[in-house]
Amino acid sequence: MAGALLKMKAELAEPVKYQMPVGEDLVEMNPLVGKTLTLNYTGQIFCIHCQRKINKSFNQGYCYPCFTSLAQCDMCIMKPETCHFDKGTCREPEWGRTFCYQHHYVYLANSSGIKVGITRQTQIPTRWIDQGAVQALPIVKVESRHVSGLVEVAIAQHVSDKTSWQRMLKNQVEPVDLKAKRDELLAECSAELEGIQAQFGEQAIEFLPDAEEISIDYPVDIYPSKVKSFNFDKQDSVSGVLQGIKGQYLIFDGGVINIRKFAGYEVEVLVDDS
């Protein structure tokens, strides 16, 4: 089959169940672990928003006009603490009102070590799976994306807000007591959190002392000892024995590829069942 890639769909199961969109098809990926898989890049790229054919993608799959005009591509999506909606400068006010002014969660996750992050309720647990987390715990619920960014910045003074994708793929992860770390971090950030509540109201932050941690297992037979990345911008074919899937990465015996990075790239998928 052939078609443009989109980021893999993931369902929390034991292990995580993956499907890879290829054009109009959904490829069931878990049964392919242990088989020889080939992805041949056709040289064509299509914007994941407007579907126009493009020579180069921006922000993991967009054409340049969409990248510069869509609110979902603005810097404040990556850094929500810089939200400028209240200044009247949002690229798409109606989209921003719907997307950003809904409940978000600030969470702790363990992917390559403990980190803090934010996500919408509708993206739990997808967000954690996409990051390759093996443990995750929501710690506060907030009323907007802007507030979630401010809380994340406060907590990120004491713990990382990034994942080392190489360590994540090597599975160099030690178990962490996330509830104990939550209590420690919230105590350390109490002054900053009180300041946010003073600015936005007590209701802006809801603490979640009874939230339960989830554990995530991935369909991986063999984790790589060294990580080499495949890149469709430098090679038109990726092939090898599929040894596992973690985050948005396919792990081959000769390297890894981030499917989300190449959203919009048209590929032909071949499976050797022998």
Rounded CA separation 159/189 (Å): 11
Residue type present at position 232 = F
pLDDT value of position 89: 96
Give the residue with greater pLDDT, 126 vs 1: 126
Reported as a pLDDT band with limits 50, 70 and 90, residue 274 is low
pLDDT value of position 180: 98
pLDDT value of position 273: 78
pLDDT value of position 151: 98
Rounded CA separation 240/253 (Å): 6
Q: pLDDT tens digits, residue range 205-235? A: 999 999 999 999 999 999 999 999 999 999 9
In the predicted model, is pLDDT for residue 190 greater than 90? yes
Q: Average per-residue pLDDT in the chain?
A: 97
Average pLDDT estimate for 174-199? 97
Average pLDDT estimate for 69-79? 96
3-class secondary structure per residue, the chain: CEEEECCCEEECCCCCEEEEEECCEEEECHHHCCCEEEEEEEEEEECCCCCCEECCCECCCECHHHHHHCHHHCHHHHCHHHCCHHHCCCCCHHHHHHHHCCCEEEEEEECCCEEEEEEEHHHCCHHHHHCCCCEEEEEEEECCHHHHHHHHHHHCCCCECCCCHHHHHHCCCCCCCHHHHHHHHHHHCHHHHHHHHHHHCHHHEEECCCCCCEECCCCECCCCCCCCECCCCCCCEEEEEEEEEECCEEEECCEEEECHHHCCEEEEEEEECC
Reported as a pLDDT band with limits 50, 70 and 90, residue 193 is very high
In the predicted model, is pLDDT for residue 23 greater than 90? yes
The answer, yes or no, to whether the previous bond of 93 is cis (omega within 30 of 0) is no
Q: pLDDT tens digits, residue range 77-133? A: 999 999 999 999 999 999 999 999 999 999 999 999 999 999 999 999 999 999 999
